[in-house]
Each structure stands twice: as structure tokens, then as C-alpha cells.
Copies of this chain bind each other. A is one copy, B any other.
Amino acid sequence: MPRAGLTAERITAAAADLADARGLDNVTLSALARDFGVKDASLYSHVRGVRDLRTRIALLAAAELADVLGAAVAGRARRDALVAFADTYRAYGLEHPGRYAALQLPLDPEEHADDPGFLRGVELTYGLLRGYGLEEPDATDAARLLRATFHGYVHLEAGGGFGAPRPVRASWERSLEALHRTLENWP
């Protein structure tokens, strides 16, 4: 019996790809085991269960997203940074719906609350807002508005929620312009 060479990392990577291809709900240990040519039970040596697996996907996605966001905003400020950040965020969410969905599920606070991937994401947002001259508590309010808007767009768009014929990208660009003006002139 040749060994399949399983590791938690390889399983997580395969799970993330499967999530993007067929949806996070269809990420099942049985399906992964089939992909690896292995029995379901064998995966439990590397992963604690389906919940643990989903958490691992989330952490992977957080790190990836922070990477691309960091690259996008590097050397930019204000409108340029906002647009780069937003476009990158939306593109990641639409190209990786499974990974993105994993990002949204509540993870054990005491366990991963201060995960480096998530922290970097938060830091990038606050950096963006510092460029607009926002300080606490305005920065928190504005950060929440940005996160909500970006996430709302991606989530609704990925779920087919925008039925009107107008291209989403056009509305998106107008919305970003509106957000830019809001940040320039925070109430």
C-alpha cells in the first residue's frame, strides 16, 4: 500500500480548492478522501474534523487575502489606495468564493482571534483610513462602513443577488467614488 503523503497543509489546500469549485458546504471529508485515494478515517490523523478543516481554510484565506491587499495598497494613498484595496478585495471574493465564505464563519475567539492574517487585514484598513486623516473613534466607524460595503457587495454578487441588467462593475465604481467622498468629508 503506497502512502498518499498526507499532511494538514496539503489537505487544507485541496479543501480550499474544492470549496472554491463546489462551495464551502460541499467540502466534505469523504470527498477529500476520495480525491486523495484514501479512506475518510485517515484524514483524522491530520485534521481534527470538519470544523477544524473549515477553520484552516479560513486562516489560509486570511493570509492570502492580506498578501494581495498589502501588495495592492503599497505605495498608494487615499483614492488610489481605496480603489486598489476595494478592487482587490472584490476580485478575491469573486474568484475564490469558497475561501471567501470560510473567512466569514465565526472562529473560536480564544483560539484564533489574533491570527496574523486577520490582524494584517485590519492593519491595512486602518492604514488606509489614516491616509484620510481619520482617528478614533471615526476610524472604527469608517472601517466598519468599508468592511460592510465591500463584504455586502461581494456576498450579494456571489449569491446572484443583483438582478438588474446594469453591470455590477459600473455600480461598484460609483459606490467607491461615493465612499471616497465620504471618507474625505467624514460626518
Interface residues of A (CB under 8 A from B): 104-106, 109, 113, 137-138, 140-141, 144-145, 147-153, 155-156, 159-164, 166, 168, 170-172, 174-175, 177-178, 181-182, 185-187
- For the complex formed, measure the closest distance between the CB of A176 and the CB atoms of chain B, giving whole angstroms: 10
Instruction: Provide the main secondary structure of the chain A interface.
Output: helix
Which 7 A-B residue pairs are closest in the complex by CB-CB distance?
A152-B152, A148-B152, A141-B171, A148-B153, A151-B152, A141-B174, A145-B175
- For the complex formed, measure the closest distance between the CB of A3 and the CB atoms of chain B, giving whole angstroms: 35
CA gap between A53 and B156 in the complex, in Å: 21
From B106, B155, B168, B177, contact of A187 by CB (8 A): B177
Chain B residue contacts of A175, Cβ below 8 A: 141, 144-145, 148
Known contacts A141-B175, A151-B155, A155-B155; 9 additional CB pairs below 8 A are: A104-B161, A106-B160, A106-B161, A140-B164, A140-B171, A141-B166, A144-B175, A177-B187, A178-B186
Q: Which residue of B lies closest to A109 (CB)?
A: B160
Chain B residue contacts of A172, Cβ below 8 A: 144
From B150, B166, B174, B187, contact of A152 by CB (8 A): B150
CA gap between A143 and B153 in the complex, in Å: 11
From B106, B150, B153, B182, contact of A144 by CB (8 A): B153
CA gap between A156 and B147 in the complex, in Å: 9
Q: Are B156 and A151 in contact (CB under 8 A)?
A: yes
